[in-house]
A and B are shown apart, each in its own frame.
Chain A
Amino acid sequence: MSEKLIHLTINHMPVEVPAGTRIIEAAQSIGIDIPHLCYHPDQSIKAHCRMCMVEVTGQRKLLAACSTLVWEGMEVITDSKRVYDAQVGVLDLILADHRQDCLSCSRNNNCDLQNLCRRFNRLKPDLPDVSSQERPRLDNPSIVRDPSKCVKCGRCVKVCSEVQGIGALSFTGRSAECKVTTAFDLPMNETDCVLCGQCTLVCPVGALTEVDHTSHVRHALHDSSKHVVVQIAPSVRVALGDDFGLEPGALVTGKMVTALKMMGFEKVFDTNFSADLTIMEEGSELLHRIKKGGRLPMITSCSPGWVNFMEKHHPELIGNLSTAKSPQGMFGAVLKTYYAQRMGWDPKDIVSVSVMPCTAKKFEATRPELGRDGYQDVDVVLTTRELAKLIRYEGLNLAALPESEFDAPLGTGSGAGAIFGNTGGVMEAALRTAYELYTGKELPKLEFEAVRGEVNGIKEATIDLDGTPIKVAVVNGLKNAETLIRRVQNGEADYLFIEIMACPGGCIGGGGQPIGTNNAKRQARIKALYELDQNLPLRKSHENPDIQAIYREFFGEPLSHKSHELLHTDYAPRPKRYDFSPYIEKYRKFLPQK
């Protein structure tokens, strides 16, 4: 079916776009960026902010460019006096209700509202400040809310309910009282929030941001009595470049390592290494469960947003989760035991830093299970955005830096470890190892294209383990995860292994990635990680020589007593705010049978 094309003009320039295009997108196609705050390419239309008002010939009123579809012969003007006056009026009103302490805002120089002010040359607003006097709310280890900065665009509300299916944030109140908050204005950790941080990724201003831990790292680096060691997650290397103006998906591994070494980290290691370790444990666990009749389907446990979701909303699945720690957790444990012994360091003198694409990882690092003898395995978690801030502080031009290698021995990662960063990657990595461990034969083709998922989707496949078919599913985005879980629980699907990542696209689209991450950039990053895997000589976790060495020297074999002690964990249901279970039984019989 050929798409119907619509012809219109924007500022007298002829434009041809498919039917169903919105004015704002048609303008983008010829390089005009119509001012906007609430519009987001991956979200449904809200038309809240009214910044994108444009003039359409023949129309009495200005129209919102984000919500108006183009029609044949439409004449759009985006820069008339009427449009300018309307847009500046809206901008002034938004500014009047926005606490303007840009200099101390974590989004300074990276803010959609600031950009608009610069664009409209609105240096000193005419209206008095009527912004909320509420103070920033720091009630969890991952996300800060600053209601006085909120511009009520509703992007966070949309991403939380439409993509993640959580609905922890919502508009409340009306008119001047309107604000975005949780049910009954509760602290976020007491709500359904799983700390995935997708809200911090779409917020156009500084109303929702990650908890900043950069100063912790700087203090540690200035303390000469400490061994400051850093690990970097697979997905950071294809996203960090975004923050420095490189093209989406640019691979900056070597430059990033140089930057970290220049900052003074004693050792720069790769989370890809512990991703390989995770695969050894998780792959072995899967085979163990299949052979010994353990609980199936087994579900991955690398994504802390997903783990939080499971503990809060589906505690009945605790037995299905792989007990293997996440790569971050495994790395921390290895660093403070195996590596500390090897180097003759006291674990208490090690500051273990991790750079993650994720806000929920900050919470994960505080879990009491992930530590021993009074210390945590990971002391500070930085998001990709915070790493970019440290690089800026250091005054480094990332693009111009030379390339360096990770330190040995915890710096060797296989291609299988690299693709942990995107949806379908953990599955593919596990299958590569499980196949060879299970069959004892060499895998004829390394790429499992059938499990290479799409951004914000569900993918299922049947993989042939040399005669034994195993059904698997790959899902990203928690709303999709909920759909899949219902399917499994209703007996509509019988998978053996499920990979769940909380964020759309997996970690490459995580809540800690650079501002401006959208689905198009997610695709570019996924492509970059698969290319990275393709170009590595080492592409299977169990063939990683450093992994083989650590099993030889320290753990013995996967699922050994020692690895259970250090590399596995357990989960616990997290109490909901109210427990209705005694009452729910009563009305269950009235519910329609699903």
Chain B
Amino acid sequence: MKPFAKKLTELTPEMVSLVDEIIASHDGDATQLVGILLDLEAAVERHYIPEPAAYYLAERLEIRPTQVYDVISFYSALHDKPRAKYTLQVCDSAPCRVKDSDTLCETLQRLLNLEVGEVTYDGRFSIEKVPCFGACDVSPAVRVNGVVYGHLDSEERIVNMLQQLD
């Protein structure tokens, strides 16, 4: 039972009030679990559901931690491991591919010296390939924490986009 001690400290009072706030905004309704988890993931800096937060959430909603984990692991939009502060989601669907999103992805990889799925050492950036997020009109595009940056068809524009994130 000893290894628990270290983990216990991870649930900070700030995390507790964050979870409390989000639960309150969903009227404490356990059937809104997916919405609660999405809100939580958006609010946590590294955009994931920390394990103690999931356990606390389960306790508050009177469901099992397994149920929370089941949902997290089911949806690709939810994560149980820390991601980057800025996850650069590159559309991998046909319209963006036609508009050469491959070059966009390669440029991002070169600029950040990063493979798809990896996180930079400082936890700031990662690159993910995702299905269409409905930005075909401005493709090739990336989505970062819900914000779409379009027309990324030159290195200059890509660098510019990255600089905006700082």
CA A142 to CA B1, docked complex, whole Å: 17
Residue A221 is within 8 A (CB to CB) of chain B in the complex? no
Q: Which of B4-12, B36-44, B127-135, B143-151 contacts A (4 or more CB under 8 A)?
A: B4-12
Q: Is the interface of A mostly helix, strand, loop or mixed?
A: loop
- A167-B52 contact, Cβ under 8 Å, with A174-B74, A578-B11: no
Q: Are B65 and A575 in contact (CB under 8 A)?
A: no
CA A34 to CA B8, docked complex, whole Å: 50
Q: Are A172 and B70 in contact (CB under 8 A)?
A: yes
Tell me the minimal C-beta distance from B62 to chain A in angstroms.
9
Tell me the minimal C-beta distance from B50 to chain A in angstroms.
10
CA A169 to CA B8, docked complex, whole Å: 22
Which among A184, A190, A574, A584 has the highest number of chain B CB atoms within 10 Å?
A: A184
CA A161 to CA B70, docked complex, whole Å: 14
Number of contacting residues on B, CB 8 A? 25
Residue A45 is within 8 A (CB to CB) of chain B in the complex? no
- A575-B64 contact, Cβ under 8 Å, with A172-B70, A173-B74: no
CA A158 to CA B80, docked complex, whole Å: 24
Indicate with 1 or 0, residue by residue over A163-190, a CB within 8 angstroms of chain B CB atoms: 0000111111110010000111000001
Residue A393 is within 8 A (CB to CB) of chain B in the complex? no
- A161-B64 contact, Cβ under 8 Å, with A577-B4, A578-B8, A583-B16: yes
Chain B interface (Cβ within 8 Å of chain A)? Answer: 1, 4, 7-8, 11, 16, 20, 28, 51-52, 54-56, 59-60, 64-70, 73-74, 80
- A579-B69 contact, Cβ under 8 Å, with A167-B64, A174-B74: no
CA A575 to CA B4, docked complex, whole Å: 9
Residue of A nearest to B58 (CB): A183
Chain A residues in 8 Å Cβ range of B64: 161, 167, 170, 183, 192
Number of contacting residues on A, CB 8 A? 27
For the complex of A and B, list the 6 residue pairs with the smallest distance between their C-beta atoms, beginning with the closest. A167-B64, A170-B66, A183-B65, A172-B73, A183-B69, A183-B66
CA A579 to CA B9, docked complex, whole Å: 10
Partner of A173, one of B11, B54, B73: B73
Tell me the minimal C-beta distance from B93 to chain A in angstroms.
19
Tell me the minimal C-beta distance from B59 to chain A in angstroms.
5
- A578-B52 contact, Cβ under 8 Å, with A172-B73, A173-B73, A587-B60: yes
Q: Are A578 and B56 in contact (CB under 8 A)?
A: yes
Between A and B, 10 residue pairs with Cβ closer than 8 Å are: A167-B64, A167-B66, A171-B70, A183-B69, A184-B51, A190-B4, A578-B4, A578-B7, A580-B11, A587-B60
